[in-house]
Amino acid sequence: MAAVLQLGALLLLLPLPLPAGRAEPVPSAEPPWLPRASPPAAAPLTDVAKLCVCNLLVAQCDINCCCDPDCSAADFSLFTTCSVPIVTGDSQLCSREAAIYSIDVTAHPPERIFKLIDQLNPNIFCIQIVNYKQALSFIPPETPTAQNFDHLLEQFGGAAFSAESDILSTELDAQSPFFYSNETYGVPIQTADAFLRLPSPTVSSQCSDANPAGFLVNQATKCSRMINTESCGAIQELGMLFYTSSQILVVNITVQSITFQSLNGTRTLLNSTDAMLFPMFLEVNMCTNIVIGASYLLTYKDTGEITEAAVSFVLGIINSTVLSVQQSFEISFTQLNTKPIPLSGNPGYSVGYPVRSTNEYGQLTILRSTSNQDCLAIGGARTPVLFGYNMISGCKLRITANTEYQFLAQTVLNVLKGQSFPEYVASFGNSQPQDVLDWVPITYIHSSEHGPWQLPISFEIEVKWTKYGSLINPQAKIISVTASITSSPVQTSPHKNTLQITSSVTFIDVSAPAEPGYKAQPTIEAKLPFDFFFPFV
């Protein structure tokens, strides 16, 4: 038995025969018990061995150009040095190839020495992997032909165009270069010369004018700008003209309002917006008409076309002791023929502000009580649900012997829910439509009693919220919304033919203890470690 086991072990160590037509693998120089090296990196995007910037003559050898493929060994023997000793790949990569050329003058005859090595980038801000072949190089232009002429004319013939990309496409609507589709959220807003700029702070809080405003992206920034009071009139970033001179393609930026701020902080709304006010140095060592704030309001159609652009200014006056001025900028968007809904908090809800939803009005609403308590004559009277306020309303429904209960049930339900009851509500007061996780679905619960004819008699909305964020400044966040519809069988009699229909809203704070022994949900105290920004600052 022992001999059989030994023979089996020998058989396991013998190499298996290779299939026909396959070469035998080269044995590794490393012992088999050592850990194997990591697999080789992917082939580089740029072959530096084929790059040669000193190759100027066609089909001829350039003098001292060691990378010229037209040069032979005899030509290299006549070189005294290499005009281009090293050729490297893109400097943004963390690891890049480098082709090194030199002439060995000690050899007889002298010969060229070529080495291909890998260089490591010491910069911590480098590109580790490039998964887009055209990211680090210019796209070769497409030669116009009879087949692609119409396509190129459509792409490059307008006032604005964009390059095609395999991964990111920012092309405008094919019908017009002034349209943005629903998929172009965040795309920089184009102007006649470049993009609409919204100044933003840098690391040192200084204003940078290189921040493009994105389509449908509401922004609010504050930054500081160094000034010299005596030469304030020469600083274009302090004047109104700098923020109104651009055209959003074919739409002019109009001045909606001008508010003047005095030295003590009081503000006065100017009556006229026709005159362009320029920064001006006064003899009392003051500079007036300085732009302290600018707020853009862009109106667009449902097709994505920007139709109007307006800006409201806050101008101020500063004295010579001020070395820098703080500016604030905002941009917001509103769809044409719709009413903009104000935010209900930033970020958490504020008590008394409407609960935001996804219906056409942007607010969660309930039935509004009127002097005419007839449910069938109340029409579409609705009132917004205010955060933190428990509300109740209702109406009366008169029933006769000739009432069609099936039709009446649907009518009453429409009165309670309204014509456009939403499916989602915003969890925060400043939730944006594109942030899907910031919207809470409305859960429906139907309850009814046994009976032949059922009519909805109550519509109750229960909103549960909690305190979210830091313990120092907790924010109100809605976590669930439940809509309960209660139906009851109709019982008519000669003495009672009127039903009371009610609608109510109740807010429940789940983070507060409701009874002894109730454990409140913990809030989050978000703090950064003391060395979070090391070694960047």
Digit-coded pLDDT (tens) for 161-211: 444 333 333 333 333 334 454 445 677 888 877 788 888 887 778 888 878
Q: What is the pLDDT of residue 196?
A: 86
Q: Are residues 297 and 414 in the same domain?
A: no
Would the pLDDT of 343 be above 90?
Answer: no
| Least confident range of 334-338, 373-377, 494-498 | 494-498
Residue predicted with more confidence, 162 or 61: 61
Q: What is the pLDDT of residue 184?
A: 58
Token look-up 């001045």 returns: 255
- What pLDDT, in 10s, does the model give residues 247-283? 887 788 888 888 888 888 788 888 887 878 888 888 7
Q: Please state, in angstroms and rounded to a whole number, the distance separating the CA atoms of residues 215 and 180.
A: 8
Q: Are residues 370 and 501 in the same domain?
A: yes
Residues 507 and 481: beta-carbon distance below 8 Å? no
Instruction: Tell me what the mean pLDDT of segment 331-343 comes to.
Output: 74
Q: Please state, in angstroms and rounded to a whole number, the distance separating the CA atoms of residues 19 and 521.
A: 66
Would the pLDDT of 338 be above 90?
Answer: no
Residue predicted with more confidence, 259 or 406: 259
Instruction: Tell me what the mean pLDDT of segment 400-416 comes to.
Output: 79
Model-wide pTM > 0.85: no
- For residue 326, give the nearest of 364, 367, 293 by alpha carbon: 293
Token representation of residue 206 = 């200084």
Q: Is 265 helix (H, G, I), strand (E, B) or coil?
A: coil
Residue 150 in any domain: the answer is no
| Least confident range of 54-63, 143-152, 169-178, 402-411 | 169-178
Report the domain count for the chain. 3
Residue 178 in any domain: the answer is no
Q: What is the pLDDT of residue 134?
A: 59
Residue 503 in any domain: the answer is yes
Give the Å distances, CA to CA, from 92 to 68, 120, 135, 268.
26, 11, 11, 52
Q: What is the pLDDT of residue 171?
A: 34
Q: Are residues 209 and 85 in the same domain?
A: no
Residue 529 in any domain: the answer is no
Token representation of residue 120 = 């490591």
Q: What is the pLDDT of residue 459?
A: 93
Residue predicted with more confidence, 29 or 101: 101
Would the pLDDT of 32 be above 70?
Answer: no
215: Cβ–Cβ under 8 A, 6 or more apart, which residues?
180, 184, 185, 186, 187, 188, 189, 304, 333
Q: What is the pLDDT of residue 26?
A: 40
Would the pLDDT of 339 be above 70?
Answer: no
Run of H or E including 184: none
Residue 279 in any domain: the answer is yes
| Least confident range of 23-37, 313-327, 344-358 | 23-37
Q: Are residues 277 and 419 in the same domain?
A: no
Run of H or E including 3: helix 2-13
Residue 385 in any domain: the answer is yes
Residue 519 in any domain: the answer is no
Query: Which DSSP category does 261 fall into?
Result: E
pLDDT category of residue 319 using cuts at 50, 70 and 90 = confident
Buried residues in 1-23 as b, exposed as e (16+ CB within 10 A): eeeeeeeeeeeeeeeeeeeeeee
Q: Are residues 293 and 422 in the same domain?
A: no
Q: What is the pLDDT of residue 132?
A: 63
Would the pLDDT of 44 be above 60?
Answer: no
Q: Are residues 439 and 478 in the same domain?
A: yes
> Exposed/middle/buried for 204, CB within 10 Å: 0-12, 13-18, 19+?
exposed
Radius of gyration of the chain (CA): 37
Token look-up 């509500």 returns: 425
Q: What is the pLDDT of residue 532?
A: 43
Q: Are residues 290 and 408 in the same domain?
A: no
CA–centroid distance for 313 within its chain:
26
Residue 168 in any domain: the answer is no
pLDDT category of residue 369 using cuts at 50, 70 and 90 = confident
Would the pLDDT of 43 be above 60?
Answer: no
- What pLDDT, in 10s, does the model give residues 74-85? 999 888 889 888
Token representation of residue 146 = 């009879």
Domain that holds residue 488: 353-509
Residue predicted with more confidence, 516 or 80: 80
Would the pLDDT of 18 be above 50?
Answer: no
- Out of 95, 120, 145, a domain closes at 120
CA–centroid distance for 230 within its chain:
40
Q: Are residues 322 and 366 in the same domain?
A: no
- What pLDDT, in 10s, does the model give residues 412-461? 888 888 877 889 999 999 888 778 889 999 999 988 777 677 888 899 99
Highest mean pLDDT among 141-145, 175-179, 329-333, 451-455: 329-333
- Out of 120, 155, 170, a domain closes at 120
Buried residues in 436-460 as b, exposed as e (16+ CB within 10 A): eebbbebeeeeeeeeeebbbbbbbb
Q: Are residues 325 and 361 in the same domain?
A: no
Q: Please state, in angstroms and rounded to a whole number, the distance separating the CA atoms of residues 477 and 426.
A: 9
Would the pLDDT of 238 be above 50?
Answer: yes
Give the Å distances, CA to CA, from 421 to 240, 360, 415.
44, 9, 11
pLDDT category of residue 284 using cuts at 50, 70 and 90 = confident
Q: Are residues 330 and 404 in the same domain?
A: no
Q: What is the pLDDT of residue 173?
A: 36
- Out of 281, 309, 335, a domain closes at 335
Q: Are residues 106 and 233 in the same domain?
A: no
Q: Are residues 398 and 478 in the same domain?
A: yes
Token representation of residue 429 = 């007061």
pLDDT category of residue 514 using cuts at 50, 70 and 90 = low
Instruction: Tell me what the mean pLDDT of segment 507-527 comes to.
Output: 58
